[in-house]
Every structure is written in structure tokens, then in C-alpha cells.
Amino acid sequence: MTVKMMTDDEFLANFRPALRDDGTLREIHPASDDYEAALRENRLWTLLDNDGNMIITPGLHWVNRMQYVMTEVPHTAETPDVLWHNDSDESWFINHYHCPSCGHKWQDEWSCQVDDDCPSCGARHISPHTSEESESRQIED
Ligand SMILES: [Zn+2]
């Protein structure tokens, strides 16, 4: 799936989610009136935990589900999954690696420029030879 990074402020401004008094996302319980209305009007989203990242994805999902949230603004077929993060300064890097042992090349996306292990031969602690900042990230299903 394609995930667009958004800060909490951006998500609030774009979709106007229902919030609790403390400003966190209000959980929408299945079978409640809000849930039924939001589902009908494409305003229901699912909060997912993807390897520690919080992702808000349009519509109903069951795998890794944490809770449902609803927004004032409906999502459309073009609405991307949203990677919710609170730190607006954080960006993602696409790290490119080249294994010195076996010559295998791969890339990975991470929140910093980290060493990785070769997925082909298992060589440890290989530093990326280049890194670029990423606007959106691809996450394997
Ligand atoms: Zn290798």
C-alpha cells in the first residue's frame, strides 16, 4: 500500500477527525450510531499498528486493527493511507545498500540512515552508500 506521511496537524486540517477533549482521536465503536453513519458516508477510518508506526487507513480493516476513527471530511478512492506522526521535523530516508561480501543491492526506507544486514548473505552492519529523503513510503503488505 502507499502511505502518505502526515503530521497530526495536517491530518486534522485535511479530514477533521472526531477528537476527545484532550485532543486525541476519539474511538468509534462498531454498531454505534456514529459508526453506522460514518461507514455509510465514507468517513470511517481504521487505525492500524504497522511495526510500531500508527497508520490511519480509509475504510474498514481487520488486520492489526487498533480502533476506528471518524472524520468530518469523507475519504475518496484517491485518499492514501496516512502515516500519522507527531514530529513534523521527522522525515523518511530511502537508504541504498550494496553488500561488500556478495554484491547484493537493495534499498530500504527508515526514519534515519541506519546500518542494515544483507538480506542475501546475512553480512552484518552494512552502511547505506546513498540516502535520499522520501515523501511517501511503500510498505509491504
Ligand atoms: Zn551479502
pLDDT tens-digit map of 80-104: 888 776 554 456 678 899 999 999 9
For the whole prediction, is pTM greater than 0.75? Answer: no
CA distance 97 to 106: 5
Domain that holds residue 51: 2-85
Ligand 1 centroid, distance to 128 Cα (angstroms)? 13
In a domain, 35, yes or no: yes
Q: Residue 123 Cα, ligand 1 centroid: separation in angstroms?
A: 5
Burial level of 62, CB count in 10 A (0-12/13-18/19+)? Answer: exposed
Unique residue bearing C-alpha cell 488486520: 63
Q: Under a CB-based contact definition with an 8 Å cutoff, are residues 38 and 95 in contact? A: no
C-alpha cell at 47: 487505525
Instruction: List beta partners, residue 70.
Output: 44
Residues 73 and 38 in one domain: yes
**How far, in Å, is the centroid of ligand 1 from the Cα of 105?**
8
Task: Give the model confidence (pLDDT) of 12-45 as tens digits.
Answer: 899 999 999 888 889 999 989 999 999 999 999 9
- Residue 4 or residue 111, greater confidence: 4
* Residue 121 CA to ligand 1 centre (angstroms): 4
Domain total of the chain: 2
Cell readout for 58 is 480509509
